[in-house]
Amino acid sequence: MTTTDVNTAFADEKARQIDAARNRERMFQDRIDRGEIRLLGGDRYEVLTGWDRGETFTVSRNAQGQIDAILANHGLDQRADGTIALYASSPAWHGLGQIIPGGVTDIDTVLREGGLDFTVTTVPALYQWDGALREHPDQFHTVREDTGAALGAVGRRYQPIQNRQGFEFLQELVGRFDVVWESAGVIRGGRRVFISIRLPQTVTVDAEGINDTVVPYVAVMNDHSGQGQFQCVVTPWRPVCANTERLAVRDAVTRWAVRHTAGATNQIKEARRTLGLSVQYFDQFASEETALARTDISLHDFHKTIADLWPLDEDASKRTRTNHAARVSALDEVFATETERVGRTAYAAERAITGYLDHVAPRRPGQSMTQEIVRATAALEGSDDDMKSKAHRRLMLLTRA
């Protein structure tokens, strides 16, 4: 009886595997037929639509020629065991890393699963002169103590802020409110690490009108390269289109930072003040965004805003003019999509600009990161925050006209 049960179970499992393989093949081919992905050559493909536009991936197949795995060319840091240094509470970054559905509340689990459980030390900078190795008295290198990898060059006063001591102040917030660690990961070989939590209450823009939802996050980033600070930022995120709506609003703190020095640990404790002020930020954010949502805008005004953000000189080259025209066309397309949902308003204009910067504007992948990861990293690090804030200020003027 037991043998029959085992054989039956094996046959059922095999049938399920075959059905899953067939479904995977069919779904993959459907994406090709819809023009969402295209073959580059061999087993390499490129994504043509959506958030992952420009991302490439490799398909591995088994002996029967069926899809065995889809491997994204991600550029994220890999640990010694080959796993990706990323923790997430929901599938993201192509489903890479350690996904724990629903998330966890323990910081040590997050640091371990996200690959952040390493420490950084400084070692003297050496140079060779006249056949002898000499030590530079005022220069040091930051080095990962788990791998020995050099992360950057720093001065004598630099003191590493270790990942755990930098992030543990958020544990109090996790324990006090019904929130979990949202994501954590390592980029650029450990030169920069990040961790984020989602705040418990969502933000509503124009509740009586478009009723748009924005999700509030707090992201903390630690830099070990010597080129950046330890910083905490409040990050509004718009789920409907994955826009990072991080921009400055009136009388509200959006970012707090501290340099890597001897007093940094005590200063980090002051970050709690930033978390308290984040509530004020999101209240003001909702107020200003609602004002934009209730302000009609003409296509002419939208183009004037674009011209302020990306001015075109009268003596610009033909290539520059071509690129400018392509940018305006892309922005018009995103604006048209937004107006269908929220009307032709200043709010739609701002969403078009943030959406363009997050998902459409050309990015150079470089040698170690694909375009998709470059985009995600730019959003995380706030590369376009100043541009988004400038657009916001420009459009807010229309609400007072």
pLDDT tens digit sequence for 57-82:
667 666 666 666 555 555 566 666 66
* 3-class DSSP state of 52: coil
Most confident of 90-94, 234-238, 324-328: 324-328
Q: How far, in Å, are 95, 132, 201 from residue 135 at the CA level? A: 45, 10, 53
CB 352 within 8 A of CB 338: yes
The single-letter DSSP state of residue 245 is: -
N-to-C CA span, the chain: 83
Task: Supply the pLDDT for residue 94.
Answer: 47
- Say which residue, 246 or 389, is predicted with more confidence: 389
In this structure, how many other beta carbons lie within 10 angstroms of the beta carbon of residue 189?
17
Q: Residues 6 or more apart from 102 whose CB is under 8 A from it?
A: 89, 180
∠ Cα 215 220 224 (to 5°) = 150
The average pLDDT across 361-386 equals 66
The average pLDDT across 353-366 equals 78
Task: Supply the pLDDT for residue 4.
Answer: 47
Task: Supply the pLDDT for residue 3.
Answer: 45
pLDDT above 80 for 157: yes
Residue 361's pLDDT band (cuts 50, 70, 90): confident
CB 297 within 8 A of CB 391: no
Most confident of 96-100, 140-144, 224-228, 355-359: 140-144
pLDDT above 90 for 10: no
The single-letter DSSP state of residue 369 is: -
Q: How far, in Å, are 138, 143, 174 from residue 255 at the CA level? A: 31, 27, 20
CB 180 within 8 A of CB 217: no
Place of tokens 């033909």: 318
Q: Residues 6 or more apart from 259 whose CB is under 8 A from it?
A: 229, 230
Q: How far, in Å, are 294, 342, 344, 349 from residue 206 at the CA level? A: 8, 10, 15, 15
In this structure, how many other beta carbons lie within 10 angstroms of the beta carbon of residue 330?
16
Q: How far, in Å, are 137, 172, 259 from residue 348 at the CA level? A: 55, 37, 37
pLDDT above 90 for 350: yes
At 30, the amino acid letter reads D
- Say which residue, 348 or 197, is predicted with more confidence: 348
User: Which residue spans within 33-99 are E strands per DSSP?
Assistant: 37-41, 44-47, 56-61, 67-72, 86-88, 98-99
At 286, the amino acid letter reads A
Task: Supply the pLDDT for residue 54.
Answer: 55
Q: Among residues 383, 380, 384, which one has the least CA distance to residue 186?
A: 380
Q: How far, in Å, are 48, 105, 228, 279 from residue 188 at the CA level? A: 26, 26, 13, 32
CB 217 within 8 A of CB 237: yes
Task: Supply the pLDDT for residue 373.
Answer: 62
CB 225 within 8 A of CB 360: no
CB 83 within 8 A of CB 96: no
pLDDT above 90 for 263: no
Average pLDDT of the chain is 78
| Residue 206 Rama label (left phi>0; alpha psi -120 to 50; beta) | left
The average pLDDT across 209-216 equals 87
The average pLDDT across 166-185 equals 76
The average pLDDT across 90-103 equals 60
Residue 235's pLDDT band (cuts 50, 70, 90): confident
Task: Supply the pLDDT for residue 76.
Answer: 63
Q: Among residues 295, 400, 401, 313, which one has the least CA distance to residue 350?
A: 295
Task: Supply the pLDDT for residue 162.
Answer: 92
Task: Supply the pLDDT for residue 1.
Answer: 45
Q: What is the pLDDT of residues 282-326, one digit of tens each?
A: 888 899 999 999 999 999 999 999 999 999 998 889 999 999 999
As a dihedral over the C-alpha atoms of residue 46, residue 52, residue 57, residue 60, rounded to 10 degrees, the angle is -110
